[in-house]
Amino acid sequence: MTKKSPKKVVLAYSGGLDTSVILKWLQTTYGCEVVTFTADLGQGEELEPARKKAELLGIKPENIFIEDLREEFVRDFVFPMFRANALYEGQYLLGTSIARPLISKKQIDIARKTGADAVAHGATGKGNDQVRFELAYYAMEPDITIIAPWREWDLTSRTKLLEFAEAHQIPIAKDKRGEAPFSVDANLLHSSSEGKVLEDPNDAAPELVYQRTIAPEDAPDKATEITIDFEKGDPVAIDGARLSPATLLAKLNELGKANGIGRLDLVENRFVGMKSRGIYETPGGTILHKAHRGIESITLDREALHLKESLMPKYAELVYYGFWFAPEREMLQALIDKSQELVTGQVRVKLYKGNVEVTGRTSPYSLYDKELVTFEEGAVAYDHRDAEGFIKLNALRLRTLAARKKKTGL
Amino acid sequence: MTKKSPKKVVLAYSGGLDTSVILKWLQTTYGCEVVTFTADLGQGEELEPARKKAELLGIKPENIFIEDLREEFVRDFVFPMFRANALYEGQYLLGTSIARPLISKKQIDIARKTGADAVAHGATGKGNDQVRFELAYYAMEPDITIIAPWREWDLTSRTKLLEFAEAHQIPIAKDKRGEAPFSVDANLLHSSSEGKVLEDPNDAAPELVYQRTIAPEDAPDKATEITIDFEKGDPVAIDGARLSPATLLAKLNELGKANGIGRLDLVENRFVGMKSRGIYETPGGTILHKAHRGIESITLDREALHLKESLMPKYAELVYYGFWFAPEREMLQALIDKSQELVTGQVRVKLYKGNVEVTGRTSPYSLYDKELVTFEEGAVAYDHRDAEGFIKLNALRLRTLAARKKKTGL
Amino acid sequence: MTKKSPKKVVLAYSGGLDTSVILKWLQTTYGCEVVTFTADLGQGEELEPARKKAELLGIKPENIFIEDLREEFVRDFVFPMFRANALYEGQYLLGTSIARPLISKKQIDIARKTGADAVAHGATGKGNDQVRFELAYYAMEPDITIIAPWREWDLTSRTKLLEFAEAHQIPIAKDKRGEAPFSVDANLLHSSSEGKVLEDPNDAAPELVYQRTIAPEDAPDKATEITIDFEKGDPVAIDGARLSPATLLAKLNELGKANGIGRLDLVENRFVGMKSRGIYETPGGTILHKAHRGIESITLDREALHLKESLMPKYAELVYYGFWFAPEREMLQALIDKSQELVTGQVRVKLYKGNVEVTGRTSPYSLYDKELVTFEEGAVAYDHRDAEGFIKLNALRLRTLAARKKKTGL
Amino acid sequence: MTKKSPKKVVLAYSGGLDTSVILKWLQTTYGCEVVTFTADLGQGEELEPARKKAELLGIKPENIFIEDLREEFVRDFVFPMFRANALYEGQYLLGTSIARPLISKKQIDIARKTGADAVAHGATGKGNDQVRFELAYYAMEPDITIIAPWREWDLTSRTKLLEFAEAHQIPIAKDKRGEAPFSVDANLLHSSSEGKVLEDPNDAAPELVYQRTIAPEDAPDKATEITIDFEKGDPVAIDGARLSPATLLAKLNELGKANGIGRLDLVENRFVGMKSRGIYETPGGTILHKAHRGIESITLDREALHLKESLMPKYAELVYYGFWFAPEREMLQALIDKSQELVTGQVRVKLYKGNVEVTGRTSPYSLYDKELVTFEEGAVAYDHRDAEGFIKLNALRLRTLAARKKKTGL
């Protein structure tokens, strides 16, 4: 049926119905050995049930891999991306996009360890995730065989999927019988929801969609103020308490959730070519994004900042499209990281009913100089009269253009 | 004392103490005729007192120009800029920057009409505004003489200024005797505050600074929902009622103010080289910015949007630096306006205690296609299997790189 | 065998062996009516033999379309692209890329006229041209059926192709019996050669590859000097004689050929993901490119030029990838065309054994001002002392950085 | 007369008439101690005469600094810049610009060593060099006093300068009596000529202007072929012989000169606002530029190359404007250097009467894969059929746009 004939496949396995069906489909379609990989990226689900389920479906214990990736995820993927202030299409904090490369990387690691010749994922054929997974697989292992069941099988409706599950004794949770009113992806950085009830971009998202944040309306009537310490562009402490990357992000998530922060209702453009509508919740990330801009505002030179800003859309696009393990992303990261060497200091942030406001920033490396900016003259470095020369030479080309216009009328 | 010896100067005159001192200083220093120009850009002050004051200071009636520029300001400056989604340093909506070129343009128009050979403004020698005024003057009239009193005179302290005012019978309002705790600029788009109590970027801005918005905490507990109609990238109606540009922006300002929307506490980088801290309030502009992104999200093609986004920082920098009347800004505007031809439709926006959230968008030119994005296959335009080829060719260069790495170890 | 079942196909038909085989294959495979379209883009072949051959292969006279597109090609495709100074990967003048969209556009026009539901081209499955043809087809007619025989059929070797030709009474020119030592594409702008003897990028290209230029070694020992007049960025006259676009380019080709100008030996990156090596000859285009830069150098403002330059790589990439009929190309064109309004004047160019050197430029719209640049002071617009202020404010941020370094040691 | 009252000044001293006048003028105007710094950057003049002359003008031996900077210049300035393929305004190889930061750096080093509080240079008030020198001074020593005699003194004509020289017993070489017909700057990378006979951009440059190259017409009738080896983006050997950076560049200069390579007649835009016309000769640099592109063409990934290309104009602008020691240049350098890690291999270059042509390239890290590009199918990594999916998804957004157009007529 297909030219692929994998012997051993490493499957990104959540333990849920869909990836369980995939597991069984791989076994029955290819007659291959399946290795499951289940990762904790902070999606908020326990992992041990996935082990049990895998065993139940006949996976050998030595073929079941379960790993807590939360610290690695935040330290090596989320934080580098936040150094860039990355926003896709000006708004989206890239919560789903940034998780895929790490999962892919681990699948390839496991494939090498177990001698597997193939990998498989549960992403659909119309989304961005298939691209992100597969670009990362190929970037690490150029000749790996990739199985993308959603693009290959004929289980093209919910009914067929459930029939296959029943036929293969895959347990079906009661609430999975009916169709979910929307689909969800989640990790420590965010949750996203899309599809079904969200498909008309002119219908407001129902409140039940939101899982990571309470509504601003339900948040406390009193603002919460916190400080975040940064070192070289990364957050290291909240209210003076030093925290590991994942712990810190989890703490920010709590704070964001409680204050109704980080909701986004967006129509975005997928890499595969169509528009889609998503509801994103990035409580901690939203706080972090603003706070990072705050610390940069006093520690980054103007042109360093402007250069970063001008490249940010490209960086965000690369992450969104799935080019994390690509030389152009690494080149941009080198540029960005170079700029962050002294992005160190403290930001004070006010959280209130959906709002994040930077109210103070301080740094031993601050470039803000009260002397320079103060109304009264005096600072040695700045002579009012310099401004005239500055303006006149900046204007010279404009004056030449104006003179041409006077002369030629054009 | 200076090589300039203007005969007739067109002064940007607010009627306030500072520009009244400048008026008198011009007369006494240069012995020149002064023409005053007072514009209504929606700063919220009446203009007739400025006429009276100018007369009192000896300006001939035919030398007093007063003009309501609100519609021109919004239609020809604010709206074109909002088509670009311009944010300086990722955050600032450029409310002060965008007003300067229009004032300059009008001063030059009046200089031509009245045969004046010079123009003057009241911007200080450390700020951006002097640059914005003067670049615009020069771009229109290359040989104009420019007087920037704050860079020239010796009234370098508040005390000296007041002494000069008293010596020349300039009336001093009681509240101008003491130093203002911060300085303010305002127009229909925004108000900005800086200096004095705001100079330490680690001190939160006191509530008294805010003039255009109530605090989110004081805003209604119930959200307000409105619709905004757009045509070719510009807003034309609120809740179905067609409004002129200035009226529409004023209406959005009301709505924004009432819901605590549009506050920004920012440390930014000036064109003249130092960092400064400002408090900006852009209630209507903040709503408009989000709504414009909303209508673009369904009507703009992906690559059109990404191209715009990648050039936005440059566009915003040009506006902030004062290069409005420069070919590079006009070239970017041509690119942006080209993209807006079908940015037409309606956006629904929810306003609540500082938050602006797009909850719906619809357009006769929508590119959003439910068929394409829906989970179940069927759409003719999209075949799941196409994704494999798409990914494989996108991955080809990454696979080649990976193969090199395998071969060379580098 | 395939889901496509076209009734009537418009084929881009050269009259050569390959497209004749395609013609017959379309008839036999799909049983469909074939419409042939043969265009003169200056490739240097007569068109009437293509008509005869099409008739011979059973195409009805009303289904044979032959058109001289040279003027349209140069005026609406080549010249707009040269306004951008487009060079792919810093070197390639895009001669093949720019011809494809026009051919596609005409095929779609003919499909509409003849009621055809499909189009077909003879580009292979590994190259850029298939992408360029098909993106353009889809951009004009979203539901058109596209037949790309080289990706579909099983004539995967030269032998099979010849067998098919013989089996179907397709005449085979004697010199087509053997394999060509490389493959060629040509039009009025350039010719390109690739494949076979050129496949090792470390082997110098043999002289026989070159078709449009004589070797610099064989060119006259005396330089030729010409003038080119430009209007709004486009060339309009050579040595004072006004010429139509295609005639002008043909004349430049003659001059370039005779002087050994316009050869390029390049390894480039294809859109489909691999590197390839090509030999390009663009005699007239190389002269035009340099001359256009020459006239821009005195008529374009600095920032207009720098903005154009910064976007040129993107523009060139779009043309190379096949996104001519895409909004982002049109947006860039709007920006570029805006800049060309006064790019009018005359350039003098010296041609000598492969070299093109601009030796003079003059324009009624020149921004070059001898007064400003002359060593001795005097010009009113420029005061030496302005430079100090200009430098000091440009240096202010660097001094602040240096002061930080002194203070913190970092 | 001026607020500056330097005690000890480090002067960039060539030993020529102009800087000798400056030396004396500094002594007589400020009564300060003068330290001379004379550097060998390969300008082709001996340095010992400068020492003698300085002594003659009363400089104490311990205040005379002479240094051979050629290796440092090429290794740390020229080569990093060539990694970027930097061309200002698409054409200029930045030979003058790149030398200034190094001279400035050394002057500051000597100022620190000798306890000097000021530096001085001999650049005029209308050029770019004053900016380049001074930005670099300030970037290293924020409170340094800078003396720019050409902007300060009243020796505003050649006559006055000669009178001053005579009045102060400064020896005047015979050929310096009259005005030079143009002014020259030279170093190991290039020589530039401008002014006087070159001021009309419509007059061809006379042959006597050229100093570093023979005319292409005078070059040998037979081509010279060489190989250049690269490691990590830098050239390390010619024809297999390993050479130090300065020696290698000198060797390329010889080869370039002999073959009439590297002439450029350019009207460019200065940072200070006006256009100027220059004749540049960069014989070795022109070869190096082409060769570097050649080795990149097989070792750099497409997106790495395109990203570099898109940032090159910015990088070149920064170097031209004098922002070498600025964070934005360092950030770009980090990005560029990251890309060069495997830019290693050999390029074969043909030199012939002004032409430089890459005729071969090879590398252990080559990404060129004959298998992938070859006409006949077979390569595992590439399936012709993948192209269809690739094109269809790339076309999806264009089809959606086309469908909109069909539906709305817009």
**Which of B328, B393, B397 to probe by mutation at the C interface, max C CB count within 10 Å?**
B328
Per-residue confidence band for B385, with pLDDT thresholds at 50, 70 and 90 = confident
| Tens place of pLDDT per residue across chain A (410 aa) | 345 799 999 999 999 999 999 999 999 999 999 999 999 999 998 899 999 999 999 999 999 999 999 999 999 999 999 999 999 999 999 999 999 999 999 999 999 999 999 999 999 999 999 999 999 999 999 999 999 999 999 998 889 999 999 999 998 888 777 778 899 999 999 999 999 899 999 999 999 999 999 999 999 999 999 999 999 999 999 999 999 999 999 999 999 999 999 999 999 999 999 999 999 999 999 999 999 999 999 999 999 999 999 999 999 999 999 999 999 999 999 999 999 999 999 999 999 999 999 999 999 999 998 877 765 544 456 888 899 999 999 999 999 999 999 999 98
Minimal Cβ distance to B298: which of A201, A385, A395: A201
User: Per-residue pLDDT averaged across B335-350, rounded?
Assistant: 98
B305 Cβ under 8 Å from any chain A Cβ: yes
Stretch B361-371: mean pLDDT: 93
Residues 6+ apart with CB under 8 A from A186: A42, A43, A44, A192, A211, A212
D1 pLDDT more than 70? no
In this structure, the number of other CB atoms found within 10 A of the CB of residue A231 comes to 15
Q: Does A385 touch chain D (CB under 8 A)?
A: no
Mean pLDDT of C104-111: 98
Report the pLDDT value the prediction gives residue C175, as an integer from 0 to 100: 77
Chain D residues with CB under 8 Å of B394 CB are: 390
Per-residue pLDDT, B376: 52
Other CB atoms closer than 10 Å to residue C310's CB: what's the count?
A: 18
pLDDT at position A374, please?
66
CA C356 to CA C301: how far, in whole Å? 24
**Mean pLDDT for chain D overall:** 95
Q: How far is CA A22 from the centre of its chain?
A: 25
In this prediction, residue A377 carries a pLDDT of 47
Report DSSP letters for B162-220, one per residue.
HHHHHHTT----GGGTSPPSSEEEE-SS-EEEESGGG-STTSPPPGGG--S---GGGS-
Q: Which one, of D328, B151, A96, lies nearest residue C398 by Cα?
A: D328
Subunits next to D (3 or more Cβ pairs <8 Å) are A, B, C
**Amino acid, res. C280:** Y
Give yes or no for C273 touching B (CB within 8 A).
Answer: yes
Q: Which of residues 88-107 of B touch A (CB under 8 A)?
A: 89-91
Contact of A180 with chain B, judged by CB distance below 8 Å, is answered with: no
CATH of A184-300+343-362, one of 3.90.1260.10, 3.40.50.720, 3.90.180.10, 3.50.50.60: 3.90.1260.10
- Residues C32-36, mean pLDDT to the nearest whole number: 98
- Note the pLDDT of residue C377: 47
Contact yes or no for A389 and C388 at CB 8 A: yes
- Asked if the Cβ–Cβ distance from B355 to A354 is below 8 Å, we say yes
In the prediction, which pLDDT does C381 show? Answer: 62
Question: Rounded to whole angstroms, how far apart are CA atoms C110 and C131?
Answer: 20
What residues contact B60, with CB distance under 8 A and at least 6 apart? none
Q: Check if the beta carbon of residue D252 is closer than 8 Å to that of residue D288.
A: yes
Mean pLDDT of D95-114: 98
Ordered by start, the domain boundaries in chain B are 8-70+95-179, 184-300+343-362, 374-408
Q: Phi and psi for D325 in degrees, rounded to 5?
A: -90, 60
Name all chains with 3 or more CB-CB pairs below 8 Å to chain A: B, C, D
Catalytic residues of C: 18, 100, 129, 183
pLDDT band at B190 (very low <50, low <70, confident <90, very high): very high
- A12 and A122 Cβ atoms separated by less than 8 Å: yes
Six-digit token string for A372: 């320079």
A192 is in an annotated binding site: yes
Q: Please state, in angstroms and rounded to a whole number, the distance separating the CA atoms of residues D165 and B59.
A: 56
- pLDDT score, position B1: 37
Residue type, A68: D
Backbone phi and psi for residue B342, each to the nearest 5 degrees, phi listed first: -120, 20
Average pLDDT over residues C84-100: 98
Does the annotation count D51 as an active-site position?
Answer: no
Rounded to a whole number of angstroms, the distance from the CA of D253 to the nearest CA of chain C is 19
Smallest Cα–Cα separation from B297: which of A316, D406, A90? A90
Instruction: Give me the pLDDT at residue B176, please.
Output: 76
Tell the CATH superfamily of the C8-70+95-179 domain.
HUPs (3.40.50.620)
> Cβ separation of A131 and B394 shorter than 8 Å?
yes
- Mean pLDDT, chain C, rounded, equals 95
Query: Could you please report the per-residue DSSP string of A107-128?
Result: HHHHHHHHT--EEE----TTSS
Where does the pLDDT of residue C179 fall: very low under 50, low under 70, confident under 90, or very high at 90 and above? confident
Q: What pLDDT was estimated at residue B357?
A: 98
A286 interfacial to chain B (CB closer than 8 Å) = no
pLDDT at position A359: 97
Check CB contact under 8 Å for D355 and C355: yes
A293 catalytic per annotation: no
- Confidence bin at D225 (pLDDT 50/70/90): very high
Indicate the range of B300-314, D75-89, D359-373 predicted with least confidence. D359-373
Joined tokens for residue B317: 């920098």
B218-239: pLDDT as tens digits: 999 999 999 999 999 999 999 9
Q: Confirm if D235 and D229 have CB atoms less than 8 A apart.
A: yes
The residues, any chain, with a CB within 8 Å of residue A220's CB and separated by 6 or more, are A258, A259, A353
Rounded CA separation D348/A165 (Å): 63
Residues 6+ apart with CB under 8 A from D164: D21, D24, D25, D155, D170
CA distance A183 to A211: 12
Residue B257 to residue C14: CA distance in whole angstroms: 68
Mean of the pLDDT values across residues D11-29? 96
What was the pLDDT predicted at C237? 98
Residue among A89, A216, A293 minimizing CB distance to B355? A216
Q: In what order do the strands lie in the sheet with D145-147?
A: D64-68, D33-40, D8-12, D118-120, D145-147
Tokens of D18: 């102009």
Q: Does any CB of chain D come closer than 8 Å to the CB of residue B378?
A: no
Which among D143, D307, D331 has CB closest to A307? D331
Calculate what percentage of chain B has a pLDDT beyond 90: 90
pLDDT tens-digit series, residues A329-379: 999 999 999 999 999 999 999 999 999 999 999 999 999 988 777 655 444
Whether residue C304 and residue B323 make contact (CB cut-off 8 A), yes or no, is: no
pTM check: above 0.95: yes
pLDDT at B377: 47
Q: Are residues D400 and B372, on separate chains, in Cβ contact within 8 Å?
A: yes
Is A156 annotated to bind a ligand? Reply is no
- Average pLDDT score over residue span B143-159: 93
Residues of B in Cβ contact (< 8 Å) with D399? 381
In chain B, which residues have their Cβ closer than 8 Å to the Cβ of D303?
Answer: 397
Residues of A in contact with D336 (CB under 8 A): 331
Q: How confident is the model at residue D346 (pLDDT cuts 50, 70, 90)?
A: very high
Q: Say yes or no: do domains C8-70+95-179 and C184-300+343-362 share a fold.
A: no
